[in-house]
Structure formats: structure tokens, C-alpha cells
Amino acid sequence: MIVEIGHYALVLALVLALAGGTLPFWGALRGDNRLMAVASTTSVAQFLFVAMSFAALTYAYVVSDFSVQNVVENSHSLKPLLYKISGVWGNHEGSMLLWVLILVLFGALVAVFSENLPLKLKALVLSVQSWISAAFLFFILIASNPFLRLDPAPLQGRDLNPLLQDVGLAIHPPLLYLGYVGCSISFAFAIAALIDGRIDAAWARWVRPWTLTAWCFLTLGIAMGSYWAYYELGWGGWWFWDPVENASFMPWLAATALLHSAIVMEKREALKIWTILLAILTFSLSLLGTFLVRSGVLTSVHAFATDPTRGIFILCILCVFIGGAFSLFAARAGQLSQGGLFAPISREGALVLNNLLLTAACATVLVGTLYPLALEALTGEKISVGAPFFDMTFGPMMVPLLIAVPFGPLLAWKRGDIVAAGQRLLFAFGAAMAVVILGLALMGTPSALALFGVALAVWLMVGALSEIAFRIKLGRVSPAESWRRGAGLPRSAWGTMVAHFGVGVTVLGIVGSTAWNSETIVTLKPGEAVTIGSRTLTMDGFVPISGGTYTGTGVRFTVRQGGNVVATMEPEKRLYTVPNTPTTEAAINTFGFSQLYVSLGDISADGSTVVRVYWKTLIALIWLGALVMTAGGMLSLSDRRLRVGAPKPARRPVAVPAE
């Protein structure tokens, strides 16, 4: 019964989305306030009904209702509760429902928390949002219904893929979707502005918090996915330039560019058309990502059951929204008024450079992702575009960007003084040089690329700090005065500093783990030991393990450094009973920011085991940097500027976790 209620709620949500997409839109065109006011109600109601539907599906999973086909295919009654719940979005149908839930959640948040938005703009924004949700609700009901029943119902489910039974995977999709789908808000604002034919600084001020929120979640989601791949797949790699990773990375690059260009628009009313274009582009890339991942065009760990009608359906949605948006853009962009003037060397100029490099880098990733598909479709030739391609294209595009990052915040609006900015960065430059000299002295002849990378990371980190040091006049006035100035700085300035510092941290992690990574493969018997760097791992013996749906063997290692025991590690080989799948669980131990990583190969009958040990220098910084960037984004989000003029204190978007 509850399952049918969930299905019915979804149908009602579709009807509401159709109403919410047409009535307020009609009202906005005719200037009818009553019709426009409908938008808020339908948006909130859509959210309530989709939430009800999602709750019904979750309920079916929690009580293991095996009369529902979706539950049978992805759950098992012995599975821990957490994975029963995460199983809801561990499959095609459920993940699309989560996608729509988050979409209507954002619509409802706009409806509730944007009371000072002009009624017409709000009505248009919410109509656009309703069109998107109508399209995807229709898709779910027609081609991907999670509420289909099975008769007769089997006694047991087929269980979720063991690789997905993991805490990281339980929260990765919701985070990523909050980011992906959050981009729909800036898209809706862009379309609304194009329809309205009016755009000003206030528009950018409304759009920025939503973009920033989406960006924060996207950053967290990507970092989480990368960390999962690192510890779960057992290869010790953390980024594979897999098309599906790229699908989430492209919207991130575009959203990063959008964040920066929206600043220019908000402060200087310049780059209007470009910002609109970026907003459209960002969501288009999100949709493209959804298509690539969910349609089965790509074979990857993410592709679910492939049903051609689904792929074509999503492709149609993609074409209508992207094509429609770009046609509208082509027709209306010329009518938007030109913005303020600025010299090439200025804050605006620096942000333009940021945008150029980010979008160009995004384009290289797009080419690398789509080229194999296009080539196969056209010539039938199969190729794979992997890390070498991206190292050669994406890497060189990032280097000038990263060098330029510390300059940006130090340049004045309109016309900047690059010499003065350079002087303020002398300390950062000195620090970077000191690291190079220290590296040469300590390590003899390390690779030039590695030294450059570390210097770049130091330059970014110290450069970010230098900007704040300059603004609070650190060392030039009394510490108390600096403190007072620091407290008086807008939160967004601190946010910029923290986020840019985070970029440096991530770069340091990438360089460290790439340049000073050591690994070894040995066959060990209990009692034998292997040495990696200054640490020795002794294999103590086997430990039987068992969990709800698996049994297996753990191998206990004692890690010694200079004769002292510093850690014990226990990688595992598991055998899941349903479906009958073996998996390997790597053991990871963190020393400072570096990690020791142990993975198991075959265990022979005589107890000799193939063991792969990695030492990854500073690797934890990669994800730590992403956390720091997110913290910067959140700090910026709490800036009072984004709340000024709000009738209620709660205007800033609040992220509500998905149910």
C-alpha cells in the first residue's frame, strides 16, 4: 500500500510540476500577480510529494519488501540498515528519484527563502525549475519506475553490489547530486533573466549563494568519490580520468568559473552575457554528466542496467533543455546591456583570465571524454583516452591559472597595479624558492617537475595568506590593530583566502603522492616481513572475519619503525554470499599526512600471500585540500552581504540533507 502511495505521490508531483511550469509563466508574461504567486505553492508542494514518494521507496527498502522489483534487485534482508537505505540510490531508478528529490528541494528552498526576489523573476525561475522537474518526473514514471511490483514475490533479494556497501558510497551520491542539481538554480535564474530581458548586479547577488552552495557540495562529492575509489578499488589510485569522473569534474570546473565571474557581475556589472552563458553551460554539463552516467553510453563502474529507451529519453531531455537554452541565449543575449569598463590588468582582468583558463581546461576534458564516443560512432575504431591525454592537456592549462591565483585578490577593481601586487607577493615567491633550494639540498637531484609542483603549492598557500596579511596590515601596525582589521574584513575575503589556500593544499598532496610514491609487491608467509621506506611490515597471521552477508580472511600486519611498533593493519579478503562476489578491502594507516596502504592478492593454501604495499607521501592532503576549499566556500556563504536586505535572517540558502 505504502509503495502505491509513493507511486501516486510521484504522479501528483508531475501534475504539480506541469501546473507550476505553465501558470506562473503565463502570469509573468501577462503581468498577473495571482498567477505568479502560484509558483511558490507548487514548488513547495512538489517537494512534499516527491519527498513522500522517496520516503515510500526507502520504507520498502528498510522493511525489505521483496514484492517491489527494485528492492529485490538491490537489497537483501541481512544487509545492515545503513546499506539498505543507501541501496535506495545504489541503482538506476532510485538514483533518478534522488536526483528529482534534490531538484525539487532546491526549487522549494528558492520559493521559501527568496522573499525579497521580485515576483516576476521568482515566478520565472520557479517555472523553469518546474519544467526540469516535470521532464525528469515524466522520465521516471514512463521509463524508470522504481515502484514496479513483482508477483510472486521472491523470498530474498539479490543484494547490492558489495563494492557499493560502504559508508563513503552511502553519502557520495547525495552529496554529488546536491552539487549537480544545485547548478539548476543558476540555470533557472539565467533563463529567467533571458526571458525577462533584464539583468543587473542584484541578479548576480541572488545567484551567487546558490552557485556557491552547489559548488561546495560538488567539491565534497567529488572528493568523497575519489577517496572511495582510492580505498575501495585497491589500486592505490585516486583519480583515473574515467569518463564518469570527468562527468562530475566538468560541471565543477564550469561552476568554479561561474562563481568567479558572478563576483565581477555583482561588483562591477561587467561580464553579464558571459556569466549567463556560464550558468547555462554549467547545468548543461551536469545534464550531460547525468546522461553519460545513466544512459549506458559508457561502460564504467557507474553505468546501471542499460535500457536503450532510457538513454534516448535522457538524450531528448538533454537536447530540449540545452538546445532551448542556447537558442534563447542566441536570441536574447544581444539585448542585455553592456557592463562596466576595466583595464586588462585589474581584478576583473584576473577573473577573466581565471574564466578563460578554467573553461579551456573544461573543454579539453570534454574533448577527452567525448572523442572516443564520437570516433567509435563515426569510424567504429575503439580507443581509450586515459591519463596521458589529460596530463598533456589539462595539466598545462592549470599551471598558468595556479600561478595567477595569488595575484587576483591583490589587484584593484577597474585598474590594478601588477608591480605593487608582485611586491606584496615577494614573500610567497621567496617561500617557494626556499622550498626549491631546500629540496635540492636535502634530496640531491629530485625531479624538476616535482620541485616545481611543490614550489607552486607553496606559492599558492603563502600567496593566499599574503593577501590577508596585506589587508590586515600585519607587521605594519600593532597586532591589536591587525586583529581589529581582521575581524572587520568581510567573511567573503576570508572565504577567498581559505579556498585558495585549499587549492594549494590539494596541489601539494597531488605532487607529493605522485613524486614520492613508493610501492612493492611481495609474496609473504606468516612471520615474514617486507620493508618500505623506513617502515617494516611483519605478517603476523590470519584472522577469520564475518559480517552480515560476507565471510572472509583478514591478514594481520605489525608495522615497525626503528624497532618500535607504530601500527597494526588488517587488510581483508571478503567473499560476499549474495551475489557470490569476492572483494578486497585495503588497510590504510595515516602517518601525518602520508599514508601506508596495504592490499592483498591471492592467499595460497600454504599461507603464502601476495601483498602489495604502497607508501603515499602527503596523499591525505588531496582530500584535506578539498575540505579546506569547501570550508572557504561556506565561509563566503556566511558573508553578511549575501543576506543584506533580507526581510528574514534566514535568507541564505541552507542545505538540507536528503532524506
Partner 1 sequence: MTRKQRRLTLISLAGVVLASAVGLVLFALSDGITFFTSPSDVLAKPPSVDQRVRLGGLVERGSIVKEADGVVRFAVTDGKATVPARYVGILPDLFREGQGVVAEGKVDGSGLFVADTVLAKHDETYMPKEVVDALKKSGEWRPQDGDGPAPQTVQR
CB of 375 to partner 1, least distance (A): 9
- Counting contacts by CB under 8 A, is residue 295 touching partner 1? no
Q: Which stretch binds partner 1 (CB under 8 A): 189-197, 301-309, 562-570, 630-638?
A: 301-309
Print the binding letters for residues 322-361 with partner 1: x by CB under 8 A, - otherwise: -------------------xxxx----x--xx--xx--xx
Beta-ladder partners of 569? 557
The H or E element containing residue 531 is: strand 529-532
Cell numbers representing residue 413 in the block? 577593481
Q: How far apart are the C-alpha atoms of 91 and 302, rounded to whole Å?
A: 9
For the CB of residue 483, give the shortest distance to partner 1 in the complex, in Å: 40
Q: Is residue 612 a contact residue for partner 1 (CB under 8 A)?
A: yes
From residue 311, how far is each of 143, 293, 306, 325, 513 by CA, in Å?
Answer: 10, 10, 8, 21, 38
Distance of CA 627 to the CA centre of its chain: 11
Q: Are 129 and 188 in contact (CB under 8 A)?
A: yes
267: phi then psi, degrees, rounded to nearest 5: -85, -35
Residue 656 as a binder of partner 1 (CB under 8 A): the answer is no
Peptide bond into 579 cis (omega under 30): yes
CA–CA dist 406, 411 (Å, integer): 10
By the rule CB under 8 A, 610 interacts with partner 1: yes
- Tell me how far, at minimum, the Cβ of 179 lies from partner 1, in Å: 15
Q: Nearer to partner 1 by C-beta: 566 or 603? A: 603
C-alpha cell at 1: 500500500
Contact (CB, 8 A) for 345 and 416: yes
Among the listed ranges 425-433, 449-457, 547-555, 576-584, the one in contact with partner 1 (CB under 8 A) is 576-584
Cis, peptide link before residue 400, omega less than 30° from 0:
no
**How far is 141 from 138, CA to CA, in rounded Å?**
5
Q: Name which position in 264, 273, 385, 618 contacts partner 1 (CB under 8 A).
A: 385
Q: Which of 148, 367, 420, 434 binds partner 1 (CB under 8 A)?
A: 367
Q: What is the CA radius of gyration of the chain?
A: 26
Using alpha carbons, select from 622, 553, 549 the residue that is nearest to residue 585. Answer: 553
Q: Does 383 bind partner 1 (CB under 8 A)?
A: yes
User: If you write DSSP's letter for every residue of 308-339 in order, what string do you get?
Assistant: HHHHHHHHHHHHHHHHHHHHHHHHHGGGSPP-
Decide if residue 549 touches partner 1 (CB under 8 A).
no
How far apart CA 306 and CA 288 sit, in angstroms, is 17
Residue among 433, 594, 428 at smallest CA distance from 513: 594
Amino acid at 472: I
537: which strand partners? Answer: 530, 559
Instruction: Decide: is 577 part of the binding site for partner 1 (CB under 8 A).
Output: no
State the minimum distance, in angstroms, from the CB of residue 318 to partner 1.
Answer: 20
Q: Name the one range near partner 1 by CB under 8 A: 276-284, 445-453, 518-526, 548-556.
A: 518-526
> Which C-beta is closer to partner 1: that of 299 or that of 534?
299
**What are the residues facing 169 on neighbouring strands?**
none
- Among 152, 388, 444, 544, which residue interacts with partner 1 (rule: CB under 8 A)? 388
Q: Which stretch binds partner 1 (CB under 8 A): 107-115, 388-396, 405-413, 638-646?
A: 388-396
Count of residues touching partner 1 (by CB under 8 A): 70
- Return the number of the residue (237 or 323) whose C-beta is nearest partner 1: 237
551 binds partner 1 (CB under 8 A): no
H or E element in which residue 612 lies: strand 609-616
CB of 167 to partner 1, least distance (A): 13
379 near partner 1, rule: CB under 8 A: no
Compose the 46-85 pattern: x for residues touching partner 1 by CB under 8 A, - for all others. ---------------------------xx-----------
From candidates 155, 299, 448, 480, binder to partner 1 by CB under 8 A = 299
| Nearest CA among 546, 542, 561, 655 for reference residue 605 | 542
Q: Name the segment binding partner 1 (CB under 8 A); options: 25-33, 45-53, 312-320, 599-607.
A: 599-607
CA 314 to chain centre: 21
- Output the smallest distance, CB 63 to partner 1, in A: 21
Part of the chain binding partner 1 (CB under 8 A), chosen from 258-266, 283-291, 295-303, 420-428:
295-303
Report how far residue 434's alpha carbon sits from residue 438's, in angstroms, rounded to the nearest whole number: 6
One residue of 156, 523, 531, 561 binding partner 1 per CB under 8 A:
523
Residues forming contacts to partner 1 in the complex (CB under 8 A) are 73-74, 90-91, 95, 160-161, 163-164, 169, 172-173, 225, 228-229, 234, 244, 299, 301-306, 341-344, 349, 352-353, 356-357, 360-361, 363-364, 367-368, 371-372, 381-386, 388-393, 396-397, 521-523, 579-584, 599-602, 610, 612
